[in-house]
Structure 1
Amino acid sequence: MYSAREREINALLQLLDDTDTEVLVSVEEKLLSYGQSVIPNLETYWEQSPDDALQERIELIIHRIHYSNLAQEFTNWANGESDLLYGAFLVAKYQYPELQSVQTIQEIERMRRNIWLEMNSYLTPLEQIKIVESILYNFYKMKGGELVYTQPNDYMIHKVVESKKGNSITNGILYLILAEQLDLPVRAINIPRQFVLGWFSHQVLFENDFELTHPADTIKFYIDPNSGIGFQLKDIELYFKRIGVTSTASYFKPRSNRQIIQLLLEQFANCFDNEAEGYKRKELLALAAIAAQADAAAQQRSDVEEED
């Protein structure tokens, strides 16, 4: 015996092949109002339907339900503690809504432990990043490359950890997660057109004091997240000269986790530049805007606290 809810859902499903646009819009909105609980009904109806157009319509409704839930999760993340790993998982859930994080977290923990076993308190910062480079890029064979928009998996943290292949942003995110777990003072910085990491002075990070003439003075060296190799300020200056950019203090300040995930979303959105998937680009950019707004609000709160 079907409940009143089940009977209503079944009646709505029968109307999904209606040719009246107004009816379809009304039906889809009603199905969306049920949230995730209606997805099993939609999936069953999809399996029973021989009509490709109807199946596509059902897939889009399921996607809209997942996106609505993801947008709420992402808003909560952006306005909360904004843990970097969790933010990266939320980006991956856009393509993999049923994603479970346990396996990825366990693999990251194995990486952390292997690095930690080689560390000791007598090592210099350069010796420490050599250990990270050795374990992550030589032992685990982590690989990275340029940002390309034909490889969506390169933008998803679970796929990067699984395949040991990403790009400068996702490899950098993995490096930053490990650095935080190992208490290494590594942060992403704002170098134009690049995702670069900096090894900061512990004291400056602890005091959150970047109001210096040039924040580059607080960075001991820089790290390429595609290779783990360290380099110096002079290399950054040569890069600026090559691209015709004048060095400014803002380029050397740490990016917040929200800014990092915002960048990841904006670049990931470029994977969907064709007409058929244009809605995905818009949705990802909408999530990026949520991160940007939350970051601006957090900065404003911080400025007010400093004034008080």
Structure 2
Amino acid sequence: MQENNEIIALFHLIDDPDQEVFDSVSSRIVSYGRGIIPNLENLWENTISNDVQERIELLIHKLHFNDLTEDFTHWKSSSYQDLLTASLLVAKFQYPELVTTPVLQEVEKLRRNIWLELNSYLTPLEQVHVVTSILYNYYGLKGTEVAYQHPEEFLINKLIETKRGNSITNGVLYLLLSELLDIPVKAINIPRQFVLAYIKPYYDENPEKLSPLQRIEFFIDPTSGQVFSHKDVESYFKRISVPPVASYFKPLSHNRIIQNVLEEFSKCFDNERNAYKQKELLDLAKLLSD
């Protein structure tokens, strides 16, 4: 962006010790939009003060965050809330200049490898075995428990890069591949876990008579791809002393899945230095509220 007199004056005031002055300067700079980012980057490179550099970094982050908020708003209002698109938006919180093509290409490669092994005669268990085998054995995906000390394990670009993610990120990848291949695997709302379920195709003329639990063929742990039975899940509920109410077995919408990702991801930023990131992620989650 061409620097005018106002921008030059604003840049001179970035180091003002008065917080009110800086807040006012900050708001005005941000109002210029992302076009001013190259100017801020140039200023950062020519600044020797660490404090001023930090202020510039926060301004650049705020500009990126404004764009991200707008992108999430568009995604929420779109007729088809694509899970991969939203996962990439989550990744852009940490990597605003993320090039998405390598991720899209890798997902398409995985989809094709799985598709080549599928046919219409496979049972539900055989279908899931194909997905699991390609994803965890051939591709080499590793799963970890959710750990808030590792924010990168919440991001799909890092999952593709390192082939390592937590149960939430692995689950999202498993879900989006299943959807691309018309395999009826959905995320469900079991407490303290991110669990997938194979939903039975509706052969019955009155599927609404079935409870959410009765519609589930079996359960899948996205950490490893391991399949669990109804009895296994019953045992889990007994172990945590929680009654297994119907709402825990209803498929989650894409909107709710991404909201959950944002809420869990925000827990990685619980120290004073990064508190603003936690607030921003929770604001994005709130934006997606129905």
Q: Give yes or no for TM over 0.5.
A: yes
- TM-superposed deviation, 1:220: 0.8
- TM-superposed deviation, 1:89: 0.7
1:276 is paired with a residue whose SS is: coil
In 1: Cα distance, 2:261 partner to 2:36 partner: 31
Distance change (3 Å), C-alpha of 1:40 and 1:260: same
Structure with bigger helix share is 1
Name stretches of at least 5 consecutive residues in structure 1 with no aligned partner.
297-308
Distance change (3 Å), C-alpha of 1:213 and 1:134: closer
Distance change (3 Å), C-alpha of 1:131 and 1:213: closer
Q: Within 5 Å, which residues of 2 pair with 1:62-81?
A: 62-80=60-78, 81=80
1:43-98 C-alpha deviation (Å, 9 max, x unpaired): 00000000000000000011111111111111111122221111111111100011
Query: Is 1:247 paired with 2:248?
Result: no
Contact 1:167 1:226 in 2 (8 A): yes
Aligned-residue CA RMSD in angstroms?
A: 1.8
Equivalences, count: 289
Which residue identity does 2:155 align to in structure 1? M
Name stretches of at least 5 consecutive residues in structure 2 with no aligned partner.
none
- TM-superposed deviation, 1:210: 7.2
Contact 1:213 1:249 in 2 (8 A): no
Which residue identity does 1:37 align to in structure 2? G
- Moved segments of 4+, more than 6 Å: none
Which residue identity does 2:134 align to in structure 1? I
Alignment match of 2:42 (pick from 38, 41, 44) = 44
Distance change (3 Å), C-alpha of 1:210 and 1:41: farther
1:200-257 C-alpha deviation (Å, 9 max, x unpaired): 12238xx9x8744621111111111111121211110000000001111111100000
The TM-score, its normalising length taken from structure 1, stands at 0.90
1:17 is paired with a residue whose SS is: coil
Distance change (3 Å), C-alpha of 1:210 and 1:123: closer
Residue in 1 that maps onto 2:106: 107
Q: Within 5 Å, which residues of 2 pair with 1:185-264?
A: 185-203=184-202, 211-212=208-209, 214-264=211-261
Contact 1:143 1:226 in 2 (8 A): yes
The TM-score, its normalising length taken from structure 2, stands at 0.96
Contact 1:210 1:253 in 2 (8 A): no
2:144 is paired with a residue whose SS is: coil
Q: Within 5 Å, which residues of 2 pair with 1:1-308?
A: 5-80=3-78, 81-203=80-202, 211-212=208-209, 214-292=211-289, 296=290
